[in-house]
Structure 1
Amino acid sequence: MVMRMNVTIKDVAKRANVAPSTVSRVIADSPRISKETKERVWKAMEELGYYPNAIARSLASKVTNTLGLIMPRSTEEAFSNPFFPEVMRGISVVAHREKYDLLLSTSGNKEEEKEAVIRMVKGKRVDGIILLSSRTTDELIPWLRDEKFPFVVIGKPLDARGVYWVDNDNIGASKLATNYLIKHGHREIAFISGSLEYVVSLDRLDGYKLALEENGLTFKRELVEQEEFSEDGGYRAMMKILERAKPTGVVVTDDVMAFGVIRATIDKGFRVPEDISIVGFNNIPLSAFANPPLTTIDISTFELGIKSAELLIARLKQKEIESDHIIVPVKLIERKSCVSR
């Protein structure tokens, strides 16, 4: 590649053997310019080391080639859980392939979160938005829907009308985890989740209840606890349960929380898995190195990111879309944190 100072559109036009106005239209991605001409102009830009000013390009084309990512909590909290870096890795792969940049927004509360989205949309900073979680009382989804702004949600919304989303079958996944323990002879099975303000927590609680019901087992409120999605949250939840009940198995809807559950179980004088078996969710890399290695539900986090970005970009490019949602399959990974009773 030839590197020159002060390369201009005229230089590019001369190299590509087109008019300067044609170069401007290529930068604006005008549909009136043929694919062959666009490729020739972009090749000339690359050879000359010319990159159009991003702001000027977005003003000309009315697109930014940028996707907004909305985290559901502060950066410190979000990146302490491997789910979010992994789902963002999937999004990044597709964004890079399709030549989109990413604009990440984190916030301390729901008000700051909404303000960040409004700035992105009203300030024309992004072409579309990916929400990395779905809450039961979500103000962003109805606002974006009313604005008719392209967005995709990771997690099935409580009200999915007119919303594009990507998720697992969380009810089925939770049934899979609970049935695994039941199959191994467990009857007193606890359930620990993150906050029930998240739809994923509600769905997994429903799956747990269904598995109990279908196997003739009674749902016991004292065996259920919710806490924040963190190792300390899992520890606190398990401590509360062990103060009022003695489960032989536990379904934990997050691997990081499950690490805290293991720690609480041991601190209370029980052994894992000999006394209490544990099944987690997400299959994060550290799960294989826990003590004991954690049996978990692999939700294909990377694939959730891939599919959410592909769905949003398909919308932005006005491609034909078969469905407004994508269900990513799950599988159970057996390790050493469960034994038969």
Structure 2
Amino acid sequence: MVRKVTLQDLADRLGVARSTVSRALRGDPQIGVDTRARVQRLAGELDYHPNAAARALTRRRAGVVGLVLPRTSRFVFSNPYFSELLEGISSVAEPAELPILVSAAVRPDYVGWLRAGRVDGLIVLGSSLEGEELRLLETLAAKGSPVVSIHAPSAPTSLVTVTSDEGPGLLGACEHLALLGHEHVAVVTGPPTSHYARARAAGWKGASARVGMTTLRTVHGDDTFASGAAAARTLLAERTAATAWLLGNDLMAFGALQALADAGVRVPGDVAVVGFDDVMPAAVVGLSTVHQGVRTLGEEAMRALHALLRSATPQPIPLVTRFVPRRTSAPSGLAPPTAARAAEGGPFETPVTRTR
């Protein structure tokens, strides 16, 4: 069995102190550039890997960060939003040698994680937190715990929050639809108990009003594919005159598109559909949507947490959203859908346009 190369082996080969090797491998600027280069070159040649457990013990840290997603595991692992978010977080955590402990549960015990020393810091999806849970998160941050929130409803000074400026993307989508002749819209968003769903619905309605469109109906779902499909069936059954549907996320938009296809409704000929997030499958199905850079959200959240772990002060800047027009909203030059066709007979008699 080949003996594992140790820190002392590197020190002996280079004729320097063991502490010098350790500091050089950490990139300590007080160690000369030449010495750091020699240490790192030899470490690569001998395939040296630091003992993560020993390093964590020396620093009195777990050497692990937690990612808390207060949703059911089924919802998390079936939603491309979370896979892209985790990809962004991992892309920053891996070079920093910080493994990620993920919790997908409606009521995660993240306080227990911190108190037991299982994690050194937390990234929490704040958009799913309400009331007492959110206040608890703010209290943890105020007491000095390294905590970063993604999309918290407010941004108190004690809680570092990474979020996006939704205004430009929502307005861009509504301007696009208004220019095509749409006058009436329907909004499909998450549960009314969710601050984030309420804010998204208000954003859609506000942007629509700014360009002269009227919101005729708001339907609440639970952010899932199935609820998007159910909302679409509700709107079709009501024979709404809304010719453009604005959805709270791409997953619900995918469900709505499926229900429209099943009903023989043409998209965008009869109804234009716009989502939010711009997850990877959106480009595949041609979904017009608001891009918010989900992977970048994850990257920025992990950078902020890494800064807190180093006792630095992160100052994340809100990401700017933008509208991405695709096949599900009428392309320029085509006649927009008419309200009369949506309100008469029905719900529609025209064949569906399927994407390949």
Relative to the length of structure 1, the TM-score reads 0.83
> 1-side partners of 2:293 and 2:322: how far apart?
9
Match of 1:305 in 2: 298
Q: How many residues align?
A: 327
Alpha-carbon distance change, 284 to 10 in structure 1, aligned in 2, over 3 angstroms: closer
1:136 aligns with 2:133: no
Match of 2:255 in 1: 260
Match of 2:353 in 1: none
Q: CA deviation at 1:268?
A: 3.8
Question: Would you say the 8 A contact 1:86–1:302 is kept in 2?
Answer: yes
Q: CA deviation at 1:51?
A: 3.8
1:248 aligns with 2:250: no
Listed as ranges, the matches of 1:177-256 within 5 Å are 177-220=173-216, 223-246=217-240, 247-256=242-251
1:279 aligns with 2:278: no
> 1-side partners of 2:292 and 2:235: how far apart?
26
- Name structure 1 gaps, 5 residues minimum: none
2:94 to 88, 93, 96: 96
Match of 1:316 in 2: 309
> 1-side partners of 2:95 and 2:269: how far apart?
48
Match of 1:69 in 2: 67
Alpha-carbon distance change, 84 to 32 in structure 1, aligned in 2, over 3 angstroms: closer
- Alignment identity in percent? 30
SS at match of 1:326: coil
Alpha-carbon distance change, 185 to 119 in structure 1, aligned in 2, over 3 angstroms: same
Amino acid paired to 1:275: D
> 2-side partners of 1:149 and 1:160: how far apart?
14
Match of 2:111 in 1: 118
> 2-side partners of 1:56 and 1:170: how far apart?
44
> 2-side partners of 1:38 and 1:62: how far apart?
25
Match of 1:53 in 2: 51
Q: CA deviation at 1:171?
A: 4.0
Amino acid paired to 1:229: D
Alpha-carbon distance change, 180 to 314 in structure 1, aligned in 2, over 3 angstroms: same
Match of 1:154 in 2: 150
Question: Would you say the 8 A contact 1:279–1:338 is kept in 2?
Answer: yes
> 1-side partners of 2:75 and 2:11: how far apart?
49
> 2-side partners of 1:75 and 1:35: how far apart?
48
Q: CA deviation at 1:39?
A: 5.9
Q: Which moved more, 1:121-130 or 1:132-141?
A: 132-141
> 1-side partners of 2:74 and 2:37: how far apart?
42
Relative to the length of structure 2, the TM-score reads 0.80
Match of 2:348 in 1: none
Amino acid paired to 1:255: D
Q: CA deviation at 1:189?
A: 0.3
> 2-side partners of 1:196 and 1:141: how far apart?
22
> 2-side partners of 1:52 and 1:335: how far apart?
48
> 2-side partners of 1:78 and 1:119: how far apart?
22
Match of 1:167 in 2: 163
Q: CA deviation at 1:239?
A: 1.8
> 2-side partners of 1:299 and 1:82: how far apart?
14
Amino acid paired to 2:112: R
Question: Would you say the 8 A contact 2:125–2:152 is kept in 1?
Answer: no
Match of 1:34 in 2: 31
SS at match of 2:83: helix
Give CA-to-partner distance per residue, 1:180-232, whole Å, 9 cap, x none. 32232212200111234444322221212212333455544xx1112122211
Match of 1:330 in 2: 321
SS at match of 2:173: helix
Q: CA deviation at 1:250?
A: 0.2
Question: Would you say the 8 A contact 1:130–1:153 is kept in 2?
Answer: yes
Question: Would you say the 8 A contact 1:12–1:41 is kept in 2?
Answer: yes
> 2-side partners of 1:281 and 1:24: how far apart?
47
Alpha-carbon distance change, 127 to 270 in structure 1, aligned in 2, over 3 angstroms: same
Alpha-carbon distance change, 218 to 22 in structure 1, aligned in 2, over 3 angstroms: closer
Alpha-carbon distance change, 189 to 122 in structure 1, aligned in 2, over 3 angstroms: same
Amino acid paired to 1:331: R
Match of 1:295 in 2: 288
Give CA-to-partner distance per residue, 1:246-299, whole Å, 9 cap, x none. 121100121121111122223444322111111111222322332xx2111111
> 2-side partners of 1:315 and 1:31: how far apart?
18
After superposition, the CA RMSD in angstroms is 2.9
Question: Would you say the 8 A contact 1:170–1:200 is kept in 2?
Answer: no
Amino acid paired to 1:120: W
